[in-house]
A and B are shown apart, each in its own frame.
Chain A
């Protein structure tokens, strides 16, 4: 069957559950979510008010799930959803929402707005209304294996360079390894230092790990476009590889939505719990830190700050780990005013950076981060998400700001103290 309004509505109905009903029932139209959204704060355009982006879903809920709504629809007082309406809402649902979830933290009545945006996108895809950029990225992810079209030979090539650089072997397809590391194509193509960094750290901590040649990609465009079917297909590949290699842990890389996809949505997408655990690289590094297996030397002198990737911190629950790790190597670590679970998004999450149509809006939204950085007056910014990193770099460049953006794992690797390997005991967690 092809995409259609009916299919979209049917899909939305699959996703209207008790939380959605309670949120719409409770909304008092106070508009406070607008203040939580950087697309509103940086444009002052009321249409970017988070709850307004859900108007079609709200209408559907009202017409199908409430007494008066049903009655009004029957008597013809309210018109059913139209394809035009969904089309009109497409830019609101995709271009002006990074699914950062900040609105969900501030809603006074407790509405989890981003929970509903995620569901709304399911219906949008089924109705055929998703941005071209996201559609083609998802297509590539499904057909080629990576949204950026990176295939294993390309990775192999990068591995060769990294191996030459650091003088260590990068394990690939090692059966029975404890950990299976995943990467994002962004890291493979733009920040291959990450591969070297974790290789060095793991080598020193004596961690048995591997990459999988058939499932190295952690990103999941299916999550961003909002199609559980496609997202599940991508998660299945990782699960299959982890099962084939019989690993105990799968490491989610420095990528925001990959963590959401693997850690929180994955088992629900494939409909069964994993036979392994998903651990974020920051969680693993923090474990190593607490076990004294992450010795560092020297500290960065200049003042620096940390940008919280929404999907890892606010929506992922990895909050204190990056801070503890950063404290190891930073002499002057300053927090931005809103940080941690109340951070401001870079402006490129939730598929916005993949969506060319949203490029200008994304740069406007970046002003929020610009103001934060300017207020703090730092020249170094550390983060733990390749997509944040690209978005930040673009924004900084556009605004002619002289701020260096660093990945946390690489920064740690750079300060790694050379020492004799720690006592070879089995890893315990």
Chain B
């Protein structure tokens, strides 16, 4: 197959397939979790589950001083790679065009130089967390193959995107194919790995908030 044929495939059937698997897998995962259900709480409530659940979804996104005493490394690197990835994904013109081709919606983009910075910072933070995953005994103990796999899947779109913008390594067309494929593999992997936290985080946080909120505690 020529690189043009590859490009047509990854932009067409490849994208449909990966998006389909992603949506199917994620819907499956969310529905399966929700319909597993839980027992009704018979104790007299002190607070609203719903409200506290929603509040926890929101407030858990922010750092509060009680969260860690180990230092700011986890916090800073964590925020940096998440924000770097999300901003790069959502605010590059070319990416917005992709979302527009799916949904008809578009929004203002950030200048390419800003996206370059967010992508570079994102990659740097990802490298830092990977090093830390080996260096920190806690994270090393918790890690399994999936953590490393997910790391690779997350960093690849950023790296290939950056190479693409700066025209390094491969001809543009081939690199664009590699870049889109890296994104598609990431899409397919999300529902089946810990990366599904991008959606299930809302369920987990809600339950956390609801369980504590039932007792009148804002978690």
A residues with CB within 8 A of B: 16-19, 21-23, 25-32, 34-36, 40-41, 44, 46-47, 49, 51-52, 65, 67-68, 104-112, 115, 263-268, 271-274, 277, 314-317, 319, 338, 341-342
Contact = CB atoms under 8 A, between A and B. Distances in A.
B69 to A, nearest CB: 5
Listed residue (A18, A44, A110, A338) with the most chain B CB atoms within 10 angstroms of its CB: A110
Interface in B60-87: 60, 66-70, 74, 78
A30 B74 contact: yes
A110 B60 contact: yes
Q: Main SS of chain B's interface residues?
A: helix
A112 B42 contact: no
B138 A49 contact: yes
Nearest to A41: B69
Contacts of B203: 18, 22, 25-26
A268 B45 CA distance: 12
A110 B43 contact: no
A25 B200 contact: yes
Contacts of A109: 60, 197, 201, 204-205
B157 to A, nearest CB: 18
A19 B38 contact: yes
B140 interface: yes
A317 B38 CA distance: 22
A113 to B, nearest CB: 9
A32 B68 contact: yes
A19 B46 contact: no
Contacts of B32: 21, 65
Most interface-central of A31, A266, A268 (chain B CB within 10 A): A31
B33 A104 contact: no
B27 interface: no
B211 A272 contact: no
A317 B215 contact: yes
Contact of A31 (B139, B196, B217, B218): B139
Interface string B154-171: 000000000000000000
Interface string B1-37: 0000000000000000000000000000100111111
A95 to B, nearest CB: 18
A28 B138 contact: no
Contacts of A272: 42
Contacts of B139: 29-31
B207 interface: yes
Contacts of A264: 43, 214-215
Given A32-B67, A36-B68, 18 more contacts: A16-B36, A18-B37, A23-B204, A31-B139, A35-B69, A40-B138, A46-B137, A46-B141, A49-B138, A52-B141, A52-B142, A65-B32, A107-B60, A109-B201, A267-B42, A268-B42, A315-B217, A316-B215
Contact of A22 (B33, B43, B47): B33
A51 B142 contact: yes
